[in-house]
Amino acid sequence: MPVPDPKPPAEPRTPRRVLYFNAGFLRQKRIRRIMELAGLPLRLGRPGAEDAIAVWGRSPYAVRGEAMAARSGADLIRIEDAFLRSLFPGRAGEPPLGLLIDRTGVHFDSTGPSDLETLLATRPLDDTPLLDRARAGIARLQEAHLTKYSGVDPQTPCPEPGYVLVIDQTRGDASVIHGGATADTFRDMLVCARMENPGARVLIKTHPETVRGHRKGYFGPDDVCDGVELCSDTVSPWTLMEGAIGVYTVTSQLGFEAIFAGHRPQVFGQPFYAGWDLTQDRHPHPLARRGRRLSRAQLFAAAMILYPTWYDPCRDRLCSFEDAIAHLEAQTRAWRADHRGWVAAGMRLWKRAPLQRVFGQQKRLLFENDPAKADARATRTGRRLMIWAGKAPPGLSATRVEDGFLRSRGLGAALVPPMSLVTDDLGIYYDPHKESGLERLIASRETLRPDQQNRAEALIARLIDLGLSKYNLGLPAAELPSGPRLLVPGQVEDDASIRLGAGEISTNLALLKAARAANPGATLLYKPHPDVEAGLRRGSVPQTDLDAIGCIVLRDVDPASLLQEVDELWTMTSLMGFEALLRGVRVTTTGAPFYAGWGLTRDRGAPPPRRRARPSLAGLVHAALIDYPRYVDPKTGLPCPVEVALDRLSSGDIPHPGRANRALSKLQGVFASYAGLWR
């Protein structure tokens, strides 16, 4: 006979104040800030019946607050880390990305209900948009290899597949004690894993806090024997579970994640995710509070979207689950790339401080002028080697670095630091002679999940609405002649993208002549490149030639506003071609820029035949603006998603170059012919 759903509890009363009696809250600035934003600011004081007292879960220090609540009649609010916490455990000093703020109990305590259990037991959880968000969230965690402590490297080799995974936990953890388990439970679990899987290897996964020396686990070297081994490497749990033929857990969150990896874990304790027909419960709870059958998406929706309070550290505000995961994706990607440290070559002096801010947060960058010396130093120190893409000698195996496609509010040649940079282990996006990392990403985005499609389309709409481009300089376009308008953006003629990707037409004058010959009746608009206009780079076209072709020259015009006024754009390799595609403008290319050859442009050049995929515009944008660049928030210095970069660019909330940079920029204009000294 099915167990009826319990009635939802009455709404908790709003406390007059939220008090605390644990010094840990005083030290944890992030926790206090999240509580404040949630409308529950933490204070010191003497409690009364109209107050609430905040305690940390079921920690030993919670008894102080519990005793004060019992004496005063104040409510209890139990706080815990959210299920996607950070790169590393809190004992490593890293603040949480979100909190679980529970007015009923605590999620891991099976002896009584919690707000999460009530959500799972009583909330309909049948809303299609909510379940779509849950499915997308599961896919994003898996694709980015995110977990509670995401400081794992997916490149770290996992054991050969075919093992039974046994998950260890930290000894005496509250989730074990209040999940109905003891040390004997872990012994029973290991025995069952071996007996029920004869002939299979048993792999015990050590807890991250045990690996880092913070707390002991229930298993150790003494448990290693024939057929049983320990895994203490920082491998991705998603890869680990992919190779498992079975998963055994007591109350670990990895058991929760195993459900979304496709397993039905054997559960020996009473964690929050047991009892919903998604696990094989070896010791089910004797009380019938849980008897509802849930899908994976329903469990995820309640536990990851509805229950936690998520925080955006860049914008300093509460946020959605999607915003929180976007931040963790950016933070995790940066750590995985940088934690070994870098040796950097080919970096001009003025670039070094911005590069240090982006790539040196884990270990400071080591700079070498000579690429060969940098390569040797990287090998000697176990670091990775990076080089500015245009300075890479042939045959050097290194990660190439370049400015991203949403760069700044100002020119690189004017020494304005970038807020996005691209790193490429295969090649570089503007060199079509070999495959680049961007090419591979574009091909992989030929098919998008619905959430990826929605994110890319929202990004396109916002870029258009905000009128953003690479440099975000210039004035709105003046009134232009009626009739068909064709825009030709000028380029820097000694730029690497021209030298490597322009093809037969490699000068601005030649491009203008070709565009005029193919479009004799169109109004031809020519926009010189900002660096050329500033006198910093090569590529100017004599006025007599412009007059002979019949061009209208648009100087100091904002590209984003100009693209709203034209019908077609002709380019060799300019990024303005990509920006035109975003705005629905037809684009003709005479070279092989990264966005050509995918069926989205009219190609008069020779894009590489390997570009056989046919992504949508959203797929191209997802690869070029979400997947490929790394963004850094200029306000907080944190790695950030593209949406934060848009916020900063649109508001102008970015530090501006100092007097030294501005003075050096002016000197560069005077000595433009000696650009090799500073570029």
Question: Is position 676 within any domain?
Answer: no
Dmax (CA) for the chain in angstroms is 92
Closest CA to 151 of 86, 209, 98, 91: 86
Question: Is position 55 within any domain?
Answer: no
**Using CA atoms, how far apart are residues 401 and 305, in angstroms rounded to an integer?**
36
Determine the pLDDT at residue 468. 78
CB 126 within 8 A of CB 137: no
Across the beta sheet with 98-102, the strand order is 42-43, 18-20, 52-56, 75-81, 98-102, 309-312, 317-319
Question: Is position 568 within any domain?
Answer: yes
Q: How far is CA 462 from CA 15, 330, 466, 633, in A?
A: 40, 20, 6, 18
Number of domains in the chain: 1
- CB burial of residue 553 (10 Å; 0-12, 13-18, 19+): middle
| Segments of 320-380 assigned E as strands | 342-345, 366-368
CB 83 within 8 A of CB 308: yes
Mean pLDDT by 10 residues, the chain (679 residues): 42 86 91 97 95 95 94 96 94 92 96 96 96 98 96 93 97 95 97 96 94 92 93 94 98 98 98 96 82 96 98 98 98 97 94 93 96 96 96 93 78 61 96 97 98 98 86 70 94 93 95 97 92 81 94 88 94 96 97 98 96 98 98 94 93 62 44 44
Question: Is position 53 within any domain?
Answer: no
**Using CA atoms, how far apart are residues 479 and 476, in angstroms rounded to an integer?**
10
Q: Report residue 542 CA to chain centroid gap.
A: 46
Closest CA to 507 of 571, 594, 559: 571
CB 506 within 8 A of CB 572: yes
Closest CA to 570 of 501, 619, 508, 612: 508
Three-state DSSP string of 101-139: EECCCCCCCCCCCCHHHHHHHHCCCCCHHHHHHHHHHHH
What tokens were used for 221?
A: 């070297």
Domain assignment of residue 575, given as a range: 442-659
**Using CA atoms, how far apart are residues 571 and 552, in angstroms rounded to an integer?**
16
CB atoms within 10 A of CB 320: 12
CB 550 within 8 A of CB 525: no
Question: Is residue 77 helix, strand or coil?
Answer: strand
Pairing of strands 399-403, 602-603: unpaired
DSSP 475: B
Q: List the helix and strand counts (H, then E) for the chain.
A: 25, 26
Closest CA to 35 of 52, 12, 49, 13: 52
Question: Is position 62 within any domain?
Answer: no
CB atoms within 10 A of CB 7: 9
Question: Is position 334 within any domain?
Answer: no
- Model pTM above 0.85: yes
Determine the pLDDT at residue 650. 85
Question: Is position 565 within any domain?
Answer: yes
Question: Is position 360 within any domain?
Answer: no
Alpha carbon dihedral 96, 98, 100, 103, in 10-degree steps, equals: 110
CATH number at residue 650: 3.40.50
DSSP 673: G
Determine the pLDDT at residue 659. 52
Determine the pLDDT at residue 2. 37
Ramachandran region, residue 589 (left: φ > 0; alpha: ψ -120 to 50; beta: rest): beta
Q: Which spans in 253-300 are helix H? A: 253-260, 296-300
Determine the pLDDT at residue 656. 58
